[in-house]
Structure formats: C-alpha cells, structure tokens
Chain A
Amino acid sequence: MIPVTYRASFSYLLRHPWQLVLSLIGIVIGVAVIVAVDLANSSARKAFLMSMDAITGQATHQVIGGPLGVPESVYADLRVEHGIRQIAPVVDGSISIGGASAQLLGIDLFAEQEIRGFTGDVRSAETDASSLFVDFLVEPGVVTTSEHTARELGLAVGDTLEVSAGGRQHEARLVAVFPDDGNSGLERIVVTDIATAQEWLGQAGWLSRIDARVGDGDADALMRLEAALPDGLQVLSAAGRTRSTADMSRAFMTNLTAMSLLALLVGLFLIFNSVNFSVLQRRGLIGVLRALGLTRRQLLAMILIEAGVIGLVAATFGVVFGVALGEQLLDLVSRTINDLYFRVNVTDVSIEPFSVIKGLVAGVGAALVAAAVPAIEATSYPPQLALTRSTLERRAGRVLPLVTLIGVAGMIAAVILVLISGSDLVAGLTAVFLLILGFALCIPLVVRAASTIGAPLAGKIGGSSARMAVAGVASGLSRTAVAIVALAVAVSATIGVSVMVDSFRGSVSQWLEQTLRADIYTGSLREGAMDPALIEAIRKLDGVETISTRKRASLEDANGRTQLRVFELPPAAFDGFEILDADPAEVWLAWEHADTILVSEPYAYQNQVGAGDRLTLPTDFGPRDFRIAATFQSYDINASAVTMSRATYARHYRDDSIDSLGLYLADSADIDSVIAAVEALSADGPRLYVTSNEGLQTESLRIFDRTFVITDVLYWLTLGVAFIGILSAMVALQLERAREFATLRALGMTPVQVGGMITAQTGVIGLLSGLAAVPLGVVMAYVLIKVINRRAFGWQIDMTVAPDILGVSVLFAIGAALLAGLYPAWRAGQSQPAIAMREE
C-alpha cells in the first residue's frame, strides 16, 4: 500500500493532469528521440554487420584485387595448380527489383560447402531438388532469395521478375526461397549462380573477391595462400574488412547521437521546469508535512521517488514512441549511409535491449536530475507553512550571479576543451554541450536585466498592463527562466544547424561551380564501365571540342579503403582544382609523368598528410609509393579521395575502363543538341546519365540536401520539446498565479485584458529567448563548422551567416511562445474573481 504521505503528494499531480501530462511529454519526446536515433543507428549498423556475416559465412579471409577485382583465372589457378580448396569465388553488386535496391550475390555452388550456410530449407514450387539444382546452375537468370525478402518484394516462387543491373534490364526467375530463421542479415540479398552475376553486372572475367577459410591460427595455410597469389592481390581478414567498412560511418552516427542528446537536453530543461513547478506549487503542502514531522530525507525521497516514477512511466512511453519514430528515422539514416558510405539494406528496426535500457535510464535519470534541484531546495525550507512568493523570488535572485558564474566557467571550459582536444570528435561534441549549458546558465541573469530595464519602457508604451507583463517575466523568473532557457537552447540549435548547413551548402555550391568545368557530363549509372566504342563516338560528335574522363575505383589494403579518382583532364579543367598547399603550375607539370597524386582536403586531414608526403597504395603490381603533389579543396560527398592522372593509373593498374566523361563543347555548340546526340548514341547500350553542367550541380545539391533531411527532422523535434516547455511553463504559471489573476479580475480587468497580459508576457519570453538564441546559435554554428564538421569529415567550410536565418529564428521563438501562451491566457482570462476572496 502506498503510504498516505505519498498519496498526499501524488494525488496533487493527479488533480493537475495538464501539468502531469506536460512533464510526461518532455521526457517522452526526449527519450523517444534518443531511442529512435539509437535504434536507427544500431539497426543500420547491425543490418550491415549481419548481412556481412551472412555473406561472409565461414570465410575468415578474403582475397581482393585492384579496381576491377580479382581475375577469375587466379581462382582456377589456386585450386588446380596450388591445390587450395577452402576458397569460394564471389561476384556481387547492386541490383534493383522494381525500384527496390538489393544486393546480388553470385556464387559457385560447388565451392560453397565450407564457406556459406545461409540458405536453409529451400522452398520451391518444384519439389524436385535435382531439377532445382540443375536450373540454378544451367539456366541464366535463375535466382533465390529469402522468404522475407520475397514477401517484401511481392514475389512468389516461380515468378519471373525484371532485375535492373549494370544499367540494363534482365529477366530473372525466382526458383526457390529459403527461410530467414530470423536472420535479417539476409535481407534483400538475391543469390544467383556466379555466371548470371557476371553476365548481369558486366564483370565477365572478374571476381569481386575470393572468400577463403583459414583455420584459426593456421599461419601455414595463410602463407601458402598469400604465396600463391600474383602481385596486386592481397589477403585481408574478413572481419577486419567488415569492421573498417562499418567504421566509415562512425562519425556520421556520432553526430546523430549528439543531436539526439541535444533533444534530451532540451527535454531536460522541460522536465526540470515541470518538476520545479510541481514542487513550488506544493510548498504549502510541503510546509504542512514538515510541520507534522516529515523529515528532510523523507521529503527528498518523496519528491525523487515521484520524479522517478514519472520518469519511468514517461520513459516507457518514450521508448514505445521512439521505436515507432526509429522506423521513420531508419529510412533516412540508411539512405544517408547508402549515399555516403556503404550499401545497407534494412527495412525493420531491430529493437536492441541496450537501446531501450539507455532510453529508460536517460529518461529516469533526467527526471531525477531535474527533480533533485527543486527537491533539495524545497527541503531546505524551514518547515513553516508557506514561504511567500516574494521570498522565493528573492532566493532565485540571490543564486543568479552564482549560476551565471558557473555558466561562464562552462563556456570557458568548452573553449579550452576545443583547444586541447586535437581532432577528437567526441571531445568536440562535449565542448558543444558545455558551451550550450554554460550559455544557458547565463540567460536568466540577462533576462532579468532586460525585463527590469524594459518594464518602465513597456509601461510608457503600453500602459500598466504592458508594464506588468514585462516586469512579470523578471519577477516570475524562478518559473520563467527555465522555459526561456529551453526555448533559447532549442532555437539556438536550429540557428546553429541552419547556419552550418547553409554555409556548408554555400561552400559546396561554390566548389561545384569551380570544379565542374565541362559543359556536359555523362557516365554509367552504377559503377560499371562505359563502352569504349561509345566513348570514341562521343569524342567525335559535332560540337565536342575535347573530353575529360573519370574512373572511380576503390583501393583496399590492410589499412582500409581508399577511394581513388582517375582523371584524364584537358588543361582547361586544371583550374577546377583549388590547390591548397603547392604551386599549381608545378603540380600540373608533374601530374602525368611522375608518380604523383593529389589528395582531397578531407583525406589530408583525416590521414594527416600533405604536399610532399608519400603514400603507399596497393597496385596491380603490389604496393607502390606515390608522392602527394598537393592537397585540393573537395566536398566530394561520397568519400574523401585520392586523385591520379590516367597516365599514372595506366602504369600501375591493368584497367582502362572509364565510368564517366566530361564534354567540353565548342563555343558555337548547342548543349541541348549535344545531349540529345549522346543520348541517341547510347540508346541501345546500358543506360547512361547525360546532364548539363548546371543539371549536375543541381543534382549534387539535391543529394546534399537529402543527407541533411535527418538533421531537419531532429531539430524540429527539439523545437517541439521546447514548445511544450513554454506551454507547460505558462500553464503552470497561470495555476500559480490564479489568485493574482482573480484579484486583477476583481479589480476590474476584463478577461481579454488578463489574457492579453499573459499573451504579452509569453511574447516577451519568446522575444527574449529568441534574442538570447542568436549569439548562442551563431557561436554554435561556428563550433559545428570549424570543430565538429572538420573533425568528423575533414571539410573546411566558409561560415556565412544569413541574416534571414537569424530573423526567422527570433520570429519563430516569439511565435512558438505566443502559441504556447494561448491556452494559459485563455485560462487566466476565465479566472473567477471570487477565488481571490475565498481563502487566506
């Protein structure tokens, strides 16, 4: 049975459901955002790891090659000449089925015995297993997939389907499905014979890799395998490859987590606000209980237990809501990961107990922390029946300087942390939080000053009720401060993120304009090569003066993956590279003849290299040293990269494939007609993209914007929390001051006047929050751009502050506050004058 004491306290909340609900909402949203981001991150990562696990199977090592992969003859040699058996060839790549992306896994059934074991009991329309086997091996285009994937794609065994791969459409037949066994690692994996995979992906003669199984610690077997490989091929640990791929997205995920924490931080203010109120409002009750003999410890326990219970209930709702939200975020997260890092197919959030626990702990913890401050304060009251409001405000006023001092110290600590933490991302994010908290603590003092100064002014302009409205902000600071701070932090976050994204976008746009020098760009849609004959035909088109070629390749060695860009450039394109740390003339002199490379700025930052350094890259002839001629500015959104000339590439790689072209037109040429001509030339072949310079810029920016959609979503949620905070504060304030309003009504103010005063007050709160948010937002943007983005991605961004972002944010703060004030204003207007006279 719940003791009477607790009932006395709790039923207060039950009698003020509005307040209870609002304090719940703060926690619910905060926890939901944390859980959602955590689940989306971990689900994406887990899906990737599981699918790698399923795909890798029992393979402990993988033989990888150069840009084109591993020559298939190497595989035959390993088996026939070297008698190496525990190996299996793999040809894999992206395909799409009716618009849904999937991964094609081409395998040789005969080699699979000791490598993969994921297909389980196949279910086929043909009960005859041998004809199934024969079909799989002999019939082109025969595929199998997991039951779940088949269901998701609306396919049944026996169906024929259109598969888009390598820029062409192919006919496939689903001959069997295998159960998932709850193993979502097989999501969107389509298994086919290696021959079909080579045909579809245009990889005849090449394997994506060779999977190998080497007994634990069997160094001899590993050495035998390595010794049997020609130059340019390497054996890497499968687990290591998976890990380094998964880790590529770590910075992105860390940033998301930080943003979710921001939502909780704002939520924390809100919770603090609610709990603080509920304690303040019960100071009469607390006085009675203390007089009746409730000890301080009992009182503290009572408040904290109450906060804990509320926190737990709200956090539970938050988790449920978070899982739902996570489903939505997952789509955004996986899309960004696909755009930026690696292929991951994930459709369902997997509910990680750890994420759930994190959310619950965060929710309950936040509630306890938020309650601790008012609880400790409440227990320090002498057990007299009621402290007067003015005493409370005096107390609040007395601690203000101290709070401000702590705030300043926090900001100084943030600056120091940035200065000493080198390139550590987590330290950078910690500094951001310190900065926000520190600044937040300074806001109340500033607000008091502003409202004290502003009140007489307001009085002159709008009369005594305006004066009361403005002065009310300062005199009710013990209640309004937290709401103001919460709104200011939320708005500043939107300013910070908006300015950052805006600056980033500006830099990218400018960079695109500079870098993209050709008039038309065309290339294969996926990473496939263009038909050489087509390239020649395009070169000879009327109006085409010269072309540049590009090849994208991924080099990999034990240290991880390096994105390589191979260019054959006309001199006109040289200006497109902004060389940062060398004399451009010398750079371009050495470009084709010496073994030099250029590195992008993010690459240089992440790997701590620059002009003059040497870099070892795996080539088809084994590892080779290349001299870094220069660092160039780049916002290549796919990955940071190393760039080399076609001539240099040709000396080190047996690959003459080209995946895209830049067309430089004669002055007289018409861009649209050349585009039409290119499209006509390629009509029969694999689909190409053909776009004007302008079109490519637009498309690039569209992808850029897409990667920031998730950012938008998160800060809208943060604002939502802040909005609830204002609403909750105003409702509580209205309850608190019910008698005061009633008195005003008794004195002859109309409901409209009282409501108007409340509205004016919330408007002032919004204005002050908005104004306070501006400097914090700008500083936050600066830190996000110069510290966080730099550390996370290596990008150098020019910061530009668009005044309209600031203006809109302030207006938004006012609007949000006014909106939140509507209901409390209406309620205050409804105050019955009689209440004032009833008691005391």
Chain B
Amino acid sequence: MPGTPIEIQLRALSRRFREGEREHVVLDGLDLDIQQGETVALRGRSGSGKSTLLNLVGGIDAPDAGTVTVAGVDVTSLTEHDRTLFRRQHIGFVYQAFNLVPTLNVADNVRLVLELNQVPAVKASSRIDKLLAAVDLADRAGSFPDVLSGGEQQRVAIARALAHEPAVLLADEPTGNLDDTTADGVLMLLDKLVRDSGRTMLIATHSQHVASHCDRVLELHNGKLE
C-alpha cells in the first residue's frame, strides 16, 4: 500500500546482553518498516530475540545501537521518563501470561490504562462498557481475574491493550497459554478489533497458525530478519 505512512521504523537496531564473560548478540543491525494498519507476525525460535524486539519497539528496553521510530517519534532518543509517557499513550501490550492485575476486577484492569492517560471518568466508563462488549465480557466486568478462564483473561488483556486507542499493538505469544479452540477465538477477536480500528500490530509468535492471520510474516534468525 504505497502512500500509507510508516508507523514503525527500525534502523540498524542492535541489542546485546552480557552473561558473565560472554556477550550474546540478540539483535544485529536490524532494519524494518511497518506501515500504518499493517499486521506483522514475527516468528523465530525461543530465544531468537522476538520479545527483545517488542520491548525495544514498546520503549521498555533501549538498544545498544540504532533507532526505533514509532508514529514519527524517535523512541531511542527519549529519556526513560519520556519513553514511559510515550508508551502509556501510544503502545498497547498483550502478553502470553495475560498479566492482568489480580487485585483489580475486569473493568478496573481496563480503567487503569485510561486513568493513566487521564481519560475523564464518564468517558472512560462508556469506553470500558463498549470494549468489554466487544470482547464479549460485558457480564464479567465485576469479576476478578482469578475466576476467569485463560481465554477470558486474554480477552480482558486485549480490551486493556486497546482501551487508550494506541497507535501500535504489541502482542507477545498472545495464544501461547491457550488451547487451540480458545486461541482461535482470541486471535479472531484480536485481528478483527485491530483491523476495524486500523491499528498497527506486531505479533511475536512461533505459531504458523497465528502468523497466517497477518499481512506479513518476518523470521528472526541469528539476530537478523529474514
């Protein structure tokens, strides 16, 4: 889709980790452009650096070299504090382990993100209602995560990731903890919601099935994209 703006741009991105004496190169001079509204699957074996790449894009981690530009902002040039604010506003995360806040109920888990973005309470409530309806959990708003099934938890996580209308959604093995049927449902939902709202999504996964839903599939191997 030429003419569509680039949402995520990686240039010469490198990340190494020290493990005692040994240095382990995870990402090695990576270049990548992802257009707005594109959904991209990132495949690779365990330890290939998928999560590291997501963390760099989300501003959780900082690279040793290279730049990350998301929605026109050079994330790598930001201070930790500004990266946090950037992330808060522009990035949504979906994790393999759901990572809902166990001490908050479903609605409050979603509300947390809206509150951080200072969305007025009334507006937040209506948005929560809409989102929970969209993930088909309108009747579980008051439930705590520990009484939800895995699929339900992940649907809450998706609602939470989209609540503040981020430019980019980052998902790390979103179906890794789910059985196939449930995984399918969650995937469909994620795909639908992201595409409907025209957001950009980067999914780290080793599942062919997941990747097949995406516009583009990238393989991460020995720190390089293939």
Hey, which bits of chain A sit against chain B, CB under 8 A? 3-5, 7-12, 14-15, 284-285, 287-297, 382-385, 839-840
Contact = CB atoms under 8 A, between A and B. Distances in A.
25 contacts: A4-B111, A5-B116, A8-B108, A11-B104, A14-B103, A285-B103, A290-B60, A291-B58, A291-B87, A292-B87, A292-B116, A293-B85, A293-B116, A294-B84, A295-B81, A295-B85, A296-B84, A382-B60, A383-B84, A384-B55, A384-B60, A384-B61, A385-B95, A385-B97, A840-B97
Contacts of B116: 5, 292-294
A7 B84 contact: no
A383 B101 contact: no
B143 interface: no
A13 B160 CA distance: 24
Contact of A296 (B81, B95, B99, B111): B81
A284 B102 CA distance: 10
Nearest to B170: A291
A293 B84 contact: yes
A7 B115 contact: no
Given A8-B103, A8-B112, A382-B60, A293 B81 contact: no
Contact of B88 (A3, A7, A293): A293
A468 B147 CA distance: 35
Nearest to B87: A293
A288 to B, nearest CB: 5
A11 B103 CA distance: 6
Chain B interface main SS type: helix
Interface string B82-122: 00110111000101010101111000100111011100000
Contacts of A294: 84, 88, 116
Nearest to A12: B103
A292 B80 CA distance: 14
Chain A interface main SS type: helix
B179 to A, nearest CB: 15
Contacts of B160: 292
A591 to B, nearest CB: 81
Nearest to A13: B103
A840 B88 CA distance: 26
A4 B104 contact: yes
A11 B104 CA distance: 8
A290 B113 CA distance: 11
A9 B85 CA distance: 20
A7 B103 contact: yes
B87 to A, nearest CB: 5
B103 A15 contact: yes
A8 B102 CA distance: 8
B112 A290 contact: no
Contacts of A840: 97
Given A11-B103, A292-B88, A839-B97, 20 more contacts: A4-B104, A8-B101, A8-B112, A9-B103, A285-B101, A287-B99, A289-B112, A290-B60, A291-B87, A292-B116, A293-B84, A293-B87, A293-B117, A294-B88, A294-B116, A295-B81, A296-B81, A382-B61, A384-B55, A840-B97
Nearest to A294: B116
Contacts of A288: 99, 101
B198 to A, nearest CB: 22
A492 B104 CA distance: 44
Contacts of A384: 55, 60-61
A9 B103 CA distance: 8
B93 A292 contact: yes
Contacts of B89: 293
A4 B84 contact: no
A14 B103 CA distance: 9
Contacts of B99: 284, 287-288, 291, 385
A290 B87 CA distance: 9
Nearest to A9: B103
Given A284-B99, A292-B93, A5 B84 contact: no
Contacts of A285: 101-103
A291 B93 contact: yes
Contacts of A287: 99
Interface in B32-87: 55, 58, 60-61, 80-81, 84-85, 87
B215 to A, nearest CB: 25
A383 B81 contact: no
B81 A4 contact: no
Nearest to B121: A1
B212 to A, nearest CB: 27
A12 B102 CA distance: 8
Contacts of B104: 4, 7-8, 11
A4 B160 CA distance: 14
Contacts of B97: 385, 839-840
Contacts of A3: 115
Given A291-B60, A291-B87, A296 B115 contact: no
A9 B112 CA distance: 12
Nearest to B104: A8
Give me the 3 closest cross-chain CB pairs, A-B, nearest first: A293-B88, A11-B103, A8-B101
Nearest to B62: A382
A708 B87 CA distance: 62
B108 A7 contact: yes
Interface in B101-158: 101-104, 108, 111-113, 115-117
A840 B89 CA distance: 28
B1 to A, nearest CB: 30
Nearest to B81: A295
A11 B95 CA distance: 23
B108 A4 contact: yes
A290 B84 contact: yes
Nearest to B97: A840
A291 B161 CA distance: 11
B89 to A, nearest CB: 7
A294 B88 CA distance: 7
Contacts of B117: 293
Nearest to B55: A384
Nearest to B60: A383
Contacts of B115: 3-5
A291 B166 CA distance: 13
Contacts of A14: 103
A391 B108 CA distance: 31
Contacts of B108: 4, 7-8
A300 to B, nearest CB: 12
Contacts of A382: 60-61
A62 B154 CA distance: 86
A382 B58 CA distance: 12
A14 B60 CA distance: 30
Nearest to B161: A292
A157 B102 CA distance: 69
B146 to A, nearest CB: 10
A632 B97 CA distance: 79
Nearest to B150: A839
A3 B88 CA distance: 16
A385 B89 CA distance: 19
A148 B161 CA distance: 70
